[in-house]
Amino acid sequence: MIDREEAKGAKILWKEVIKNGFASPIISSRSSFLRGSIFPLVPTLLFLAIFFFIPLTRILALGLFPENWSLITVHSLNFTLYQASLSTLFTFALGLPAAWLFARYEFRGKAILRALTAVPFLLPTVVVAAGFNALLGPRGLSSFIFPLSSFQFTGTLTAIVVAHVFYNSTIVIRILGNALTNLDPRLEQAARTLGASPFNTWMRITLPLLRPHILSAALLVFLFNFTSFGVILLLGGPQFSTLETEIYVQALQMLNLPMAALLSIIQLLCTFSFSILYYRLAAQSTFPTTPQPATPRRAKNLREKILLSSFIFLLSSFFILPLLSLPLRSITRLEADRGQRGAVTYGFTIDYYRELFINRRGSVFYVPPLEAARNSLTYAAATVLLSLGLGLPAARALSRSSRATKIFSPLITLPLGASAITLGLGYLITFNKPLTQNWSLITDHWLLKTENWSLLTSPLIIPLAHTVIALPFVIRILQPALASIPTRLRDAATVLGASPSRVWRSVDWPILSRAVLASAGFAFTISLGEFGAATLLSRPAFPTLPVAIARFLSQPGGLNYGQAMAMSTILMTITLLAILLIEKMRLPGSKDF
């Protein structure tokens, strides 16, 4: 680091340089060149071209055939739209009152409850599915507490809607909560002074001002529900067919790649249309600067206290019980293991965690669950390295050049509009041939060594797909942090003779370190819990932890179910630690969405 004397001398020298104009042309030309350079974007654009745009092009080429059209497509699209609309409606039924609660009232534990509502959004799909299964499933705690109850949760539309509400309520809470907080309270006060009732004030003042925020939040929630895969597959079952699940069925079970490609085209057209509409609505969802935001208050009378306490209890129970049931069920024996004879010992046990190390049947093709956990951690680490290696130069270029931002930023964010299951299908179509047939320009000597090598059968395919998914998020986190670094600090260090590496260590890294760690945690979390692409691309010898959990949940026997609960608990713990890192390293004033 530069010591105090060097900093003092730098300040004096810098004033003289600016006063006499000695270095102005040099610094100006160098800064102009760096701001206008798009060379650091080339690796990122090349990576996306190979591993995103080419697979999508292959999907388009395979799926544009009229004979592929069938009633399956119409049925899947109709149910996808129906369940997404229904889930969005119920998400607002819970999220809108919760947003009002956080924006207008002050109560004990408010910060903890608000953070708790955001946790499910970053949790892996299999963890959420396992949590509701442990609470309300046929082998869950509720069936043991109420053995005579005929209530069926899993395999129903109710399970799909409840899980979507659990996932996406935080979107409504954050967007509408921030809007309500920034709403000028004098408008409502003026309406109440003129004799308007609370209902009329809400309908005539608050609701019209919130309409752009409500529409943008609804469209974002609808988009996530529309592209849902793991919730439909694990909690809904085969009787519910959405575009995502039907792509999976047609590709892996029916081996009908043209039909899967056609469904992917429809899904892509819908999601890209929804994404464009959302960004337009989000651009309109702005308030003028509020001189005095509304101050949250405590409940005044007994009626308000009862309503407030009841809703806080409902909200806390809804978000806590599924997460708490998962580790509790992983140490509780409620049924016999498969093939077990004699009396069953009910109660607490750690056998399910012990079984993670044991190949009970002695199968040659058995992959220990801990091996799957190691695979997931390895894939996540590789995803972090690739995302940062590609994201840092790209974010640096985008933060310096407004022209590059306008042209290339939409291209880089396009993967946000494509679902992971569609990306996995594109990889199946594109990289299903040996390397020699895909890359004909490789030298003959190298072709001899890689004649039968295929990227699709390599473990590298998983971190590559995860990097495509995580890269837009990483760039979005890093770009504002890089733009916030004052250029004059870099120029001053350069004039003093600091090398580019010294400038990076002394100026850039102290400002950028928190954003780098936060983006790394985000990429790690995305890779660790990704289920859609891994379901299509993971090899039996190299499963990820979410894929292994889904396999154990689909198998009979209490031992398999207990192992699924144990692995889900481990995955949830690792994810929660990553979420805590993201929250700790998030820059002040950064937005949630």
Does 367 reside within a domain? no
82 in the same domain as 57: no
pLDDT of amino acid 401: 62
pLDDT of amino acid 303: 82
Does 571 reside within a domain? no
Residue 487 banded pLDDT, cuts 50, 70, 90: confident
116 in the same domain as 41: no
87 in the same domain as 59: no
pLDDT of amino acid 292: 61
Q: What is the CATH number of the domain that holds 399?
A: 1.10.3720.10
Choose the weakest-confidence range: 185-194, 223-232, 475-484. 185-194
Does 581 reside within a domain? no
pLDDT of amino acid 14: 43
Residue-range definition of the domain harbouring residue 517: 1-68+378-435+453-542
91 in the same domain as 41: no
pTM, 2 dp: 0.81
C-alpha span between 591 and 168 (Å, rounded): 17
239 in the same domain as 146: yes
Average pLDDT over residues 318-339: 82
**Backbone angles phi and psi of 297, in degrees to 5:** -125, 165
135 in the same domain as 13: no
Residue 34 has pLDDT above 70, yes or no: no
For 122-134, write each residue's pLDDT tens digit: 888 889 999 998 8
Average pLDDT over residues 335-341: 58
DSSP line for 282-293: HHH---PPPSSP
Q: For residue 488, what are the contacts with CB-CB under 8 A and spacing of at least 6?
A: none
| Long-range own/partner contacts, residues 362-370 (CB < 8 A, 24 or more apart) | 365/540, 367/540, 367/541, 367/542, 367/543, 367/548, 369/545, 369/548, 369/552, 369/563, 369/566, 369/567
Does 140 reside within a domain? yes
Average pLDDT over residues 136-164: 82
156 in the same domain as 31: no
What letter does residue 508 receive in the DSSP assignment?
Answer: I
Does 364 reside within a domain? no
Residue 262 has pLDDT above 50, yes or no: yes
Residue 318 has pLDDT above 50, yes or no: yes
323 in the same domain as 292: yes
Choose the weakest-confidence range: 23-37, 235-249, 269-283, 341-355. 23-37
pLDDT above 90 covers what percent of the chain? 13
Residue 435 has pLDDT above 60, yes or no: no
For 528-546, write each residue's pLDDT tens digit: 888 888 888 888 778 888 9
Residue 291 has pLDDT above 60, yes or no: no
Does 276 reside within a domain? yes
410 in the same domain as 303: no
426 in the same domain as 486: yes
Total domains in the chain come to 2
59 in the same domain as 84: no
pLDDT of amino acid 378: 92
C-alpha span between 117 and 34 (Å, rounded): 42
Q: Which of these, 117, 122, 147, 142, lies nearest to 132 by C-alpha position?
A: 142
92 in the same domain as 61: no
